[in-house]
Structure 1
């Protein structure tokens, strides 16, 4: 069982599981059907039944290997569904694209929504390049009815497929682009995550596969920190939700991403060292996700529960990544009656309004103003290899870190230093 505090969804779902004896019902019949009306008696269904990533699942779902899928406009089914798919490794090179010179209404350094990200990707030729189709037309998008269809999905407990019938459930398509040879259906996100709910691709795929004769191509576009990541999938058996298969992945940008080792070293040796703040030393190994939390807070202030429920974090990660961004002075925390509320700091706003190259170097400056990170990077440049964990720990012990005392804590926090320094080194692309 998890040790972190229960979310509002955790508490509400525990109440429903007890009231309707859901676990025993699933044990007996293999599934449990629940209505939006039943859910609404404890909490709003839109907050209770939409879990885009496995990490968002309520604890009682996670502990029992359960997922939830919509089957009508007001009904859901809970079972041991194999409902999620992990993104493939993001190791593709970044391809440079550009907006046409006549475009004045799109700013490549200010992409505040999924819709604007899609518009930029189309205007810069990114979508057409990925689809290998120069002539594409924007067609269907928004919310619509699924109609009626049936599919098989793998059951994680029985290890055999089960059948689900969908009858006029609501689906949503962020964008669809039709070319001569195919219809591409896009799901767009701005939050980085390890996996996604296959339903987001599968339900629209099934709807449009039954309506047109040309191939339907399900795609995911993730925009964060100036990079457009596009993943394409297919379903090798159209009637099988679990037959999802990876096709290809590419990364694009419409900004100047050329950063040299000299650029990084100029920041390293110019930045002033800060006194260590009286805040937890970061335990948030993936710096891209620190940036991502700042991007999400650029739109609006969010409570701790809202960060956890809306994005690809569990409660522990919400604490780790918001604390890491606070450590760098990028976000601020205030205490409200309902609990902590996070907002982007003035410094965070300034950095996010910069173009790609200046923004990355500004983030580097934030990191390297802290001695343990700067000294680790200096060691890297001196030797050409990342320092060993023991070397990083020795550097940390000389850096007067706040509340880092035990050997195990030093070791855990050293992985963040390694992760962030690797992020800085990974910016270098002198051949671009």
Structure 2
């Protein structure tokens, strides 16, 4: 085994951002904050009913407070229960750190490329990226400076190393399966390495062979199918690739359908609370949504669990949305747009006896039996106020559309139609408020 110097550099650069042991540290505080935030939101709504003196409402409020307090207690108890587990996990991470530090400082790691050679690679890289020659051109717009040539530097290290050793076959294992390393079919499945890379390697070492293989395929090749732990590891490694192969159109249809069913109350309940007071007041004043627009949908794998003979994949669908809104107040009708990321949690259930091809086909043809929405929240909310219409413009609009905006709601108590002139802004007309 041999590790290019570039890999060591990338590892130490990204090490801190991917370690998850500290996720446990503030878990109870984060969950408690979420419960308290929802408690405040709930009691703001309950206060409106309390004003109406509903019978036994005080008892109901007390019961709800008790349940919310119980949720906080459950959260704190959970933190105490996992303290021992997190300690074990931390110890495991420290052992892995020690092993990796020893490995990355051994003779198993190549020497860094010198400055003169590095400048030549950068000069060559500019030309290669201009004509989309692999590897690394997919990073050209994502990275800056020398960093965007990281894949090319790595590749040059491998070619150089092949000339220093006697072995005839070089196996390069990588978790980067972008199209600047591999060819893919229409289903985004890896077919094989780019022929330009094989040709370039052969140009330097005609008597040797290079095999470029995705990490998950390598693990699958060396694993024992009869070993349960190996099987679980393979399922997790293959999850990202599997989700990419599932029909984007089916996901989009699910997301669009869910977003279309949301009304303004649904959105208000699901907001994560990162709005300032002014933005929150604007959103609280919205009466209705008259249209929505989905700009982009991203599908992100989120986890996997095995329950009996079922494999359950968790996926987050993130949709960037704009909701056209209407707010009514005496004499004024206001338009605006609520921009937000709608995050839809989806669970995909696969029978352990199903292979990937049959599961993909089943998702395509019978998504209702495979997928279900588990939760919906919003993030990054932003409200932009549009135009206001005064009373004269309002009356003109009523005449123009045949009174469409005359009565826009019904009083929850007396059933009378609510207009801008008798709207108490709490679900009741001014007579019943």
Assess same fold via TM > 0.5. no
**What interval of TM-score do these two structures reach, taking the shorter chain for normalisation?**
under 0.3
TM-score by length of 2: 0.22
TM-score by length of 1: 0.22
Q: Between Structure 1 and Structure 2, which shows a larger proportion of helix residues? A: 2
The one of the two structures with greater contact order (alpha-carbon pairs below 8 A, sep at least 6) is 1
Larger radius of gyration: 2
